[in-house]
Amino acid sequence: MTENLRVAVIGANGRMGAAAVAAIGRADGLELVAALGRSDPLERLLETRAQVVVELTVPDSSEQNVRFAVQHGLHAVVGTTGWDAGKRTALAGLLAQNPGVGVLIAPNFALGSVLATRFAAQAARYFDSVEIIELHHPHKVDAPSGTAIRTAQLIAQARAGLPPAPDATEQAMPGARGAVVDEVPVHSVRLAGLTAHQEVLLGSAGEQLSIRHDSFGQDSFMPGVLLGVRKVASVPGLTYGLDGYLELDS
């Protein structure tokens, strides 16, 4: 008989962590062996012989947690935001020293969001202007969202070599044109009642394409979390984006 995969959640008392604890508890072939809150020592991961760590905390804690996991040979599935290029490069270096260990950093676990980002990047070459509006619940601590940053990066890659979007703005109040991520304006809305939403606006003379995704609850992220947990041990090194685990081009 195959043994269950031993999974731990860090950030288990948060919105995402609590949903992940419940989803892992219900999932075939997975066993939840630890659910760590802010005051729990990371050594619990070793005492409980976790094999895969799901990291869903805050940007200030995430890097330290993931590095601890990797240094102890544990695979990690990371949903926390704030993994900029510098942190990812440092982590890739640590993974090179720990061959066989896999880490997935997924800015968004919702399949629809991953697809929407992919579609926006595909479309971006064919329009003069692209701007992103991301809309979230007001408890979110970071802006722009990790998803919007990733989307802007992929759009910028797709538009490499094209002229900048037309924009005659000469005078603007600070923030009026959004944050500029890789030359793509990103506008962040924080509104009571929302969960996680993003709309990419693409415009050219006489037409507009809008690519929108809505997550209405944390359940939208759970299939992606479980996919990551099941796959991460078989993909050594760092994977950035859940699309790395999906065969979107076939």
Ligand X SMILES: O=C(O)C1=N[C@H](C(=O)O)C[C@H](O)C1
From the annotation, which residues make up the binding site? Answer: 11-16, 79-81, 106-109, 137, 146-147
Report what 203 binds from ligand X, ligand NAI, none; CB cut-off 5-8 Å by kind: none
231 is catalytic: no
Picking from 76, 72, 65, 71, the residue whose alpha carbon sits closest to that of residue 104 is 76
The Cα–Cα gap between 155 and 131 comes to 10
Applying CB under 6 A, among 5, 50, 52, 81 the residue interacting with ligand NAI is: 81
Largest CA-CA distance found in the chain, in angstroms, rounded: 68
Q: How many CA atoms lie within 13 A of 132 on its CB side?
A: 33
Q: Which residues contact 27 (CB under 8 A, 6 or more apart)?
A: 226, 229
Q: Which residues contact 39 (CB under 8 A, 6 or more apart)?
A: none
Query: Is residue 107 part of the contact set for ligand NAI (CB under 6 A)?
Result: yes
Nearer to ligand NAI, 51 or 108 (CB): 108
Applying CB under 6 A, among 17, 102, 146, 241 the residue interacting with ligand X is: 146
Report what 136 binds from ligand NAI, ligand X, none; CB cut-off 5-8 Å by kind: ligand X
Nearer to ligand X, 124 or 148 (CB): 148
Query: Is residue 147 part of the contact set for ligand X (CB under 6 A)?
Result: yes
Q: Which residues contact 75 (CB under 8 A, 6 or more apart)?
A: 51, 52, 53, 69, 101, 102, 103, 232, 233
Active-site position among 75, 136, 213, 231: 136
Per-residue binder mask for ligand X (CB under 6 A), 176-215, x = binder: --------------------x-------------------
Strands in the chain per DSSP E: 5-10, 30-36, 52-55, 75-78, 102-105, 129-136, 179-181, 184-190, 196-204, 207-215, 237-240
Report what 13 binds from ligand X, ligand NAI, none; CB cut-off 5-8 Å by kind: ligand NAI
Could you tell me which stretch among 141-149, 154-162, 176-184, 234-242 binds ligand X (CB under 6 A)? 141-149
Could you tell me which stretch among 12-20, 158-166, 177-185, 205-213 binds ligand NAI (CB under 6 A)? 12-20
Picking from 63, 80, 81, 67, the residue whose alpha carbon sits closest to that of residue 17 is 80
Picking from 155, 154, 185, 158, the residue whose alpha carbon sits closest to that of residue 172 is 185
136 is catalytic: yes
Number of Cβ atoms within 10 Å of the Cβ of 102: 22
Query: Is residue 140 part of the contact set for ligand X (CB under 6 A)?
Result: yes
Query: Least distance (Å) from ligand NAI to the CB of residue 14?
Result: 2
Nearer to ligand X, 51 or 188 (CB): 188
- Compute how many residues bind ligand X; rule: CB under 6 A: 9
Applying CB under 6 A, among 67, 75, 118, 136 the residue interacting with ligand X is: 136
